Structure 1
């Protein structure tokens, strides 16, 4: 197929956009355990299972009532997370307002550094391989403004030309507007962009509906993802560079 007609040739790949949480890194231990560790430092004895369940309720409630860190209601990432932490511990019987405020601030700061995050073993090599293919890298993430500090402390920030977080963008995936902001930064047509993420709707479907080549990272080889075409999904980031090379050779 060396003499494809110009009309059917695909634009060469220029950019790879990345989701972050559960794609490049994950929370190191459970949220319940991390919150309990903080409570223990304050002299409280709580059970991780109970705190984890309380967190899931508080987080779910705040996500539905104040979506995307409550930006539309005048909140920001820090005030939103402060409210989630306070609601979590309140459900577990902690009533002292000063104690709640202290723990909320400490946890917000704790989650800004590498101690609480684990970089997947295939992340750095995939980022390096993509760069060595001549591709530029950016981030599109439903995350608050701590993301830059987290990526820096995890040794990943230098790989990226830009970060688009949902807090800064004012809109979150799967909304098309967050991908529009990223595409503007890329300055190339969507057909020259790949997006990699672990979420079927927010990453795979949303990027594809924006005209970007969406790939689904399915680390657990989840059987309910098997309807996604094989060439659009992989279980390790180690598979990505060869896939990108293959795509570019076909363009």
Structure 2
């Protein structure tokens, strides 16, 4: 007999919400406040290089190397601006600190139109909700200012867990918080490997959110969502 669904886990970035403007635009806005004139495309390119470099050298915010999320992100920001020929160390540190804290503001994030209704539907079905996200410790504050925190019984971020998706151990931590077997848990996320494959590898009912209908991967139709509006009907089937 199949165990009925009791808990739903959520990815956050590009699943429930997204950054409102590009990194280049946001970084250039901060640079302008400091009297600098930079090009968003140039800053975007520099950011991608800096992010790749730091992610490779210090995975998961450098936790195993004695770093934390704030130190890691400030390093990425300073490296980004350095690649755009900003050399003043005091200015670099000031802009990095400002941007780290600015990303906690609601105006920097956009909640997808279907997110709130989906969370409300899950709650009305009596399901326990939790978050499993490759994110730093700012996530709780961001969810709060975006009006989403109250829907979740618990949050697991990769910074605080010390483990990042696609390591399945982060989902095992989530299952402990759920207090139910994997067969009674679903997970929704937009990343094929981190969210879909990894959650299913531990026995969770993984769903891949494909908002732009890219269909890059061979995912069964019953496991794919083009919108969160489709979610309640899928979950109700798992509750029968």
Give the structure-2-normalised TM-score.
0.99
Query: What does residue range 1-251 of structure 1 map to in structure 2 within 5 Å?
Result: 9-225=1-217, 227-249=218-240
CA drift of 1:247 comes to 2.2
Mapped to 1, the partners of 2:2 and 2:54 lie a distance apart of 43
In 2: Cα distance, 1:137 partner to 1:238 partner: 17
User: 1:4 aligns to what?
Assistant: none
Q: Per-residue deviation at 1:140?
A: 0.2
Instruction: Specify every segment of 5 or more residues in structure 1 that has no aligned partner in the other structure, as ranges.
Output: 1-8
Q: CA deviation at 1:173?
A: 0.4
Cα distance in structure 2, aligned partners of 1:158 and 1:247:
24
1:149-193 superposed Cα distances (whole Å, 9 cap, x missing partner) = 000000000000000000000000010110011000111100000
**After TM superposition, which residue ranges in structure 1, 4 or more long, deviate above 2 angstroms?**
none
Which secondary structure state, in structure 2, belongs to the residue aligned with residue 164 of structure 1? strand
Deviation at 1:56, TM superposition (A): 0.2
Question: Helix, strand or coil: the match of 2:129?
Answer: strand
Give 1 or 2 for the bigger CA radius of gyration: 1
Q: SS of 1:195's equivalent? A: strand
Aligned to 1:223, the other structure's residue is in SS state: coil
Q: How far off is 1:112 after superposition?
A: 1.1
Indicate the SS of the match to 1:112.
coil
Provide the residue aligned with 1:5 in structure 2.
none
Q: Deviations over 1:201-222 (max 9, x none)?
A: 0000000001100000000000
SS in 2 for 1:171: coil
**Deviation at 1:223?**
2.9
What is the alpha-carbon distance in structure 2 between the residues aligned to residue 214 and residue 45 of structure 1?
A: 45
Q: What do residues 118-153 of structure 1 show as CA deviations (whole Å, max 9, x unaligned)?
A: 000000100000010110100000000000000000
How far apart are 1:115 and its partner, in Å? Answer: 1.1
Report the alpha carbon displacement of residue 196 of structure 1 after superposing the two structures with TM. Answer: 0.2
Superposition CA RMSD, Å: 0.6
